[in-house]
Amino acid sequence: MNRYWSGRIRDIVPYTPGEQPRERTFIKLNTNECPYPPSPQVAEAVQAAAGESLRLYPDPECLELRTAIARREGLEVDQVFCGNGSDEILAFAFQAFFDPERTVVFPKITYSFYPVYTDFFGLTRREVPMNPDFSNPIDLLCGHNGGVVLANPNAPTGIAVGLDTVEKLLGANPDVVVIVDEAYIDFGGESAVGLIGRHSNLLVVQTASKSRALAGLRVGWAMGDPGLIDGLRCVRDSINSYTVDRLAQAGAAAAIRDEDYFQSVRRRVMDTRERTKKTLKEKGFTVLPSQANFLFVSHPDHSGKKLLDGLRARGVLVRWWDKPEIKDWLRISIGTDEDMEALVQALCELI
């Protein structure tokens, strides 16, 4: 710890991103990236934007991109906010809608950035234990809180809840903001965007990193009541009004407009996921039902750490957490069919 650090960050444990190897070539199944390239229209749009205009600041309101999202989702432009990846938008939302004296609640096993945000912004939190089958403890998220965060589908389990469950959460928490983090919604879940018109306390957050294969451009968006969007804008403009650069705005807008390519990619990922799940179960693995672009997997006779290390030695990267509840589980991103065949072969050698 540096003696010049502020007291606010001295005890912070920051988020740990998945490994991005620089030396050895691995099959990368550890960061939930898309195994396929983005729409060809993305490269064309980025190339067109990479001209003389780069000397100028980008549009701080991301109007072209927000318009494309609004048209696709049946919303008004003032119901959409764009940022430098969904992580930035979540950070803005934690600042905009949650207060230190009111407890933020979310499941205990979920996206590990949530507790980092609460610590960093000086908020209080209550992490609700999961049900024995790793499903979300929805009843314990209803009432007596200062805000709710729900990843749907959940990470790292991949389990999703239906719209009836989201509506239950919204109805039980009418006076606080309910954030539904839909980073993986395009792989089989039901988006809550259609509920925005009926619930002014709903903020839906999505990303271009997964189903649109744009993790390298860093673009995310939030959708909700215009009052919530104004709150996000207030936080952004108090820090940095230009969070999404020209190239990212152009590329993401092109990806949103190419609906046919988007549908083809997400179907390929889901088909590979289901085939891999079936194969792993036949090999004796326990595999949770997933509606995301990853699987949460364990084996009754082998620890998660042993499988993690064995896979790495065989050139396959997956994700593991040293937490008591999930230490024997691995999160495996869905790659190409060839990637998943290599994974299965490596796992079979290990067991």
Q: Assign residue 88 a region: left if phi > 0, alpha if psi is -120 to 50, beta otherwise?
A: alpha
In 3D space, the residue among 307, 318, 321 whose CA is nearest the CA of residue 109 turns out to be 321
Write down all domains in the chain, each with its CATH number in brackets.
Answer: 27-36+263-350 (3.90.1150.10), 40-257 (3.40.640.10)
pLDDT at 3: 85
Q: Cα dist. 297→53, 187, 211, 331, 348 in Å?
A: 48, 18, 21, 6, 14
Q: What is the pTM of this model?
A: 0.96
DSSP 8-state code for residue 244:
S
The tokens 């179960």 sit on which residue? 281
pLDDT in tens, 34-86: 999 999 999 999 999 999 999 999 999 999 999 999 999 999 999 999 999 99
Interatomic CA distance for residues 268 and 266, integer angstroms: 5
CA distance 258 to 178: 30
Residues 6+ apart with CB under 8 A from 308: 318, 320, 330
Which residues of the chain register pLDDT less than 50? none
Structure tokens at 179: 């954030």
CA distance 71 to 292: 24
pLDDT of residue 24: 65
Both tokens assigned to 210? 């997964």
Q: Is the preceding peptide bond at 107 cis, omega within 30 degrees of 0?
A: no
- Bridge pairing between strands 178-181 and 147-151: parallel
Going by the DSSP 8-state scheme, the letter that residue 7 receives in this structure is T
Kindly report the backbone phi and psi dihedral angles of residue 148, in degrees, each rounded to the nearest multiple of 5, phi listed first: -130, 140
Indicate the DSSP class of residue 150. E
Beta 202-207 vs 178-181: how paired, if at all? Answer: parallel
181, 174, 161: which is closest to 222 by C-alpha?
A: 181
pLDDT for residue 243: 96
Collapsing DSSP states into helix, strand and coil, what is residue 187?
Answer: helix
Q: Cα angle vertex 303, ends 329, 22, to 5°?
A: 70
